[in-house]
Homo-oligomer: A and B are copies of this chain.
Amino acid sequence: MVQIVKTISEVRDTVKAWKKAGYQVGFVPTMGYLHEGHQSLMSAAKAENHKVVVSIFVNPMQFGPNEDLASYPRDIDKDQQLCQQAGVDLIFHPDAGEIYAEDFCSFVDMTGLTEELCGRSRPAHFRGVCTVVSKLFNIVQPDKAYFGQKDAQQLAVIRRMVRDLNIDVQVIGCPIVREADGLAKSSRNSYLNAEQRQAALCLSQAISLGQQLVQRGERNCQKITSSMQSIITQQPLARVDYITIVDAETLSPIEQIHQSILCAIAVYIGNTRLIDNFIVDIH
């Protein structure tokens, strides 16, 4: 079975030995409770590297005071099995104390890209993401790192951080993986009861409609998001956090589509906050 290590020094020693042997290292940072979305990242990492490291760490720093840190789902045994099946070579599963010393006081953050979208309702979220991803990159020192397009803002933020801070890692975004009925795979889907699970389909339905409108030539963002909004509004268990269209790289809001865009939504189903998105490349 694939080895689980809990200390930074074990990861470093293993990876340094691999690099000395000339191996290329792929890295998939996760918060565990792995699903097919993560499996697609692990497959991509396995296909493109000699060795694959997966980190499983529910990062306290990226959760707000009223968010679901304590209840976030965990199942390390099943995660280990899925990593084994995916051909992962090492799992880094540290305790919080290994990552954050008691007098920890440094952080990585951003003045752009983080205020809009999820940044509005989760103000310190991306500081937590940037800080932990920086740390994990420094610990694992991978050649390539794999992130899901489902967390579109996170992916854009990490790409920018890597560019701005000259981090020597190639960031690779992988497509959203969906359930058969369209719901984007997420560890947080496990929070949903049967009725909520059905209601949650309004996200992918709205995404699908928005995508069709753009494909048919609609360029007015207000018209697109209004149509998407009406799908969510029809669902009594759903409450919109945001539905927005932004520049795919800068994440600045736009009114008319002339460039590559990210259309992203966040919707509460009961107390569970779910996100989904699509990207259209226009050149």
Contacts and interface: CB of A to CB of B under 8 A. Distances in A.
Contacts of A104: 164
Interface in A114-140: 130-131, 134-135, 138-139
Contacts of A8: 166
Contact of A130 (B106, B141, B163): B106
B112 A105 contact: yes
A250 B164 contact: no
A273 interface: no
A171 interface: no
A167 to B, nearest CB: 5
B105 A106 contact: no
Interface string A203-235: 000000000000000000000000000000000
Interface string A88-118: 0000000000000101111111111100000
Task: Give the one of A106, A110, A166 with max B CB within 10 A.
Answer: A106
Nearest to A249: B103
A106 B109 contact: yes
Contact of A107 (B111, B113, B168): B111
A165 interface: yes
B106 A12 contact: no
14 contacts: A8-B166, A101-B164, A103-B112, A105-B111, A105-B113, A105-B160, A105-B164, A106-B108, A106-B161, A107-B111, A108-B134, A135-B165, A138-B167, A141-B168
